[in-house]
């Protein structure tokens, strides 16, 4: 199997992706008997063609979790409809003032130090706190949330089997039961005493007289804890990496703040946070001269597709003015990411705050940064930065 586990590959898979798109855009990996799609057209077809590609997948270690992203219509349509009743664009937009407050609160303690770990001090806690507050989770339980999210993300190792997969499944089984008890209790509380939070809206939401079952309820929160936090964490961290590695775009963004939205879209394309999704073929599928039999696990390499030179001019260049930019970082079609608007909102708040408050910001070490230990995401596990410390004003000044 292609080795996605090395630190070098986790930091920079793009040279291999470029070779794959050129030499083997549709690849059969015989040891695990799975297929990988690398080129834009094949990836987009797998995301859109639900007759040929099912989202109900089974890895070498068993069936995928009972999450919205691993369902097909009509069940997917029902679940998504219920969740969208609670997870509305208006409810997301209303979070912006609070996200700004949280951003400043997280930055305030580190400004005098002149250094921070961007991931641990800022990019990881910001989306986690936002999700916790959106749900109405007590502050005291946030550390428990962080632990749960870490365990859930390790499920990506189950795609390849082996010791890592067995350990990930064992840890997740424990966490799943902890989460089940926790959210069942919270759901009961909200039924008895509703609040103005996402948890209450999910308890109350229904489509055609149906509400979320306890398993569907749990599955949504597992998904929200992983995808709802990881994607934003890596979007923020990858944005800073891109800008620090490309001084000219950084200088231009500082001079032209109106470029922020297109800069965020370019980060999503250039260093896609969620690198792959999973599908299973429903029928035999022909792609790029290859025949994928029915019932085969397919790794849909979104990160590779977003660097395909047949769709993006000068695809290996980081261009914050890129237009058009038809990236598929948040998926496409029926499974387009429900949390995309929230992730973009948090990035729109985070990047100006970071660039404004971290003067002369730079990487703290010439050593390669440590990559996140999850197969399906791209980003640093830790990113130490240095900057000019902010001097506290003297008392009475």
Residue 394 lies in a domain: no
* Per-residue pLDDT reduced to its tens digit, 142-162: 888 888 888 887 776 655 556
Residue 393 lies in a domain: no
Residue 82 lies in a domain: yes
Which residues 6+ apart lie within 8 Å of 289 measured at CB? 26
What's the domain range around 362? 7-388
Residue 27 lies in a domain: yes
The Cβ of residue 300 has, within 10 Å, a number of other Cβ atoms equal to 24
What's residue 2's pLDDT? 61
Confidence of residue 3 (pLDDT cuts 50, 70, 90): low
Please check the confidence at residue 194 and state whether its pLDDT lies above 60.
yes
Q: For 274, which DSSP code?
A: B
For the domain that residue 154 is a member of, what is the CATH number?
Answer: 1.10.630.10
User: For the chain, how many structural domains are there in total?
Assistant: 1
What's residue 394's pLDDT? 43
Residue 307 lies in a domain: yes
Number of continuous H segments (helices) and E segments (strands) in the chain: 15, 14
pTM (predicted TM-score)? 0.92
Confidence of residue 121 (pLDDT cuts 50, 70, 90): very high
- Return mean pLDDT, the chain: 90
Which residues 6+ apart lie within 8 Å of 21 measured at CB? 38, 39, 304, 307, 308, 309
Length of the chain: 397
Q: Give mean pLDDT, residues 82-99.
A: 85
Residue 2 lies in a domain: no
Residue 1 lies in a domain: no
Residue 365 lies in a domain: yes
What's residue 60's pLDDT? 66
With vertex at residue 220, the alpha carbon angle to CA 101 and CA 165, rounded to the nearest 5 degrees, is 105
Which residues 6+ apart lie within 8 Å of 360 measured at CB? 387, 388
Contact in structure between 228 and 128 (CB atoms under 8 Å): no
Contact in structure between 92 and 342 (CB atoms under 8 Å): yes
Cα-based distances in Å from 137 to 131, 132, 154: 9, 5, 23
Residues forming beta bridges with residue 27, ordered by sequence position: 36
Q: Give mean pLDDT, residues 336-357.
A: 95
Please check the confidence at residue 395 and state whether its pLDDT lies above 60.
no
Q: For 5, which DSSP code?
A: -
């Amino acid at each position: 199997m292609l080795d996605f586990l090395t630190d070098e590959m986790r930091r920079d898979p793009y040279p291999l992706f470029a070779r794959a798109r050129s030499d083997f855009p549709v690849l059969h990996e015989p040891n695990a008997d799975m297929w990988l799609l690398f080129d834009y057209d094949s990836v987009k077809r797998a995301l859109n063609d639900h007759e040929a590609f099912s989202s109900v997948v089974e890895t070498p270690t068993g069936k995928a979790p009972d999450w919205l992203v691993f369902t097909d219509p009509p069940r997917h349509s029902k679940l998504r409809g219920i969740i969208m009743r609670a997870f509305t664009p208006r409810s997301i937009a209303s979070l912006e003032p609070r996200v700004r407050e949280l951003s400043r609160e997280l930055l305030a303690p580190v400004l005098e130090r002149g250094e921070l770990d961007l991931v641990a001090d800022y990019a990881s806690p910001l989306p986690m706190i936002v999700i916790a507050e959106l749900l109405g989770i007590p502050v005291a339980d946030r550390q428990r949330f962080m632990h749960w999210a870490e365990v859930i993300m390790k499920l990506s190792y189950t795609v390849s089997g082996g010791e890592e997969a067995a350990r990930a499944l064992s840890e997740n089984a424990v966490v799943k039961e902890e989460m089940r008890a926790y959210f069942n209790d919270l759901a009961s509380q909200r039924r008895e005493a509703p609040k103005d939070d996402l948890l209450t809206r999910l308890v109350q939401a229904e489509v055609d007289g149906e509400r979320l079952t306890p398993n569907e309820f749990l599955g949504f929160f597992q998904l929200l804890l992983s995808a709802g936090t990881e994607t934003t964490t890596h979007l923020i961290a990858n944005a800073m990496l891109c800008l620090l590695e490309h001084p000219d775009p950084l200088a231009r963004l500082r001079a032209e703040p109106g470029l922020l939205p297109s800069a965020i879209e370019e980060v999503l394309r250039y260093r896609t946070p969620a690198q792959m999704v999973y599908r299973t073929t429903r029928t035999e599928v022909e792609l790029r001269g290859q025949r994928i039999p029915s019932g085969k696990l397919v790794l849909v390499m979104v990160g590779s597709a977003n660097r395909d030179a047949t769709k993006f001019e000068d695809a290996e260049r980081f261009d914050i003015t890129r237009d058009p930019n038809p990236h598929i970082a948040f998926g496409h079609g029926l499974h387009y990411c429900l949390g995309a608007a929230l992730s973009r909102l948090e990035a729109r708040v985070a990047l100006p705050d970071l660039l404004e408050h971290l003067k002369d910001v730079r990487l703290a070490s010439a050593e390669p940064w440590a990559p996140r230990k999850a197969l399906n995401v791209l980003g640093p596990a830790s990113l130490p930065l240095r900057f000019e410390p902010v001097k506290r004003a003297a008392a009475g000044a």
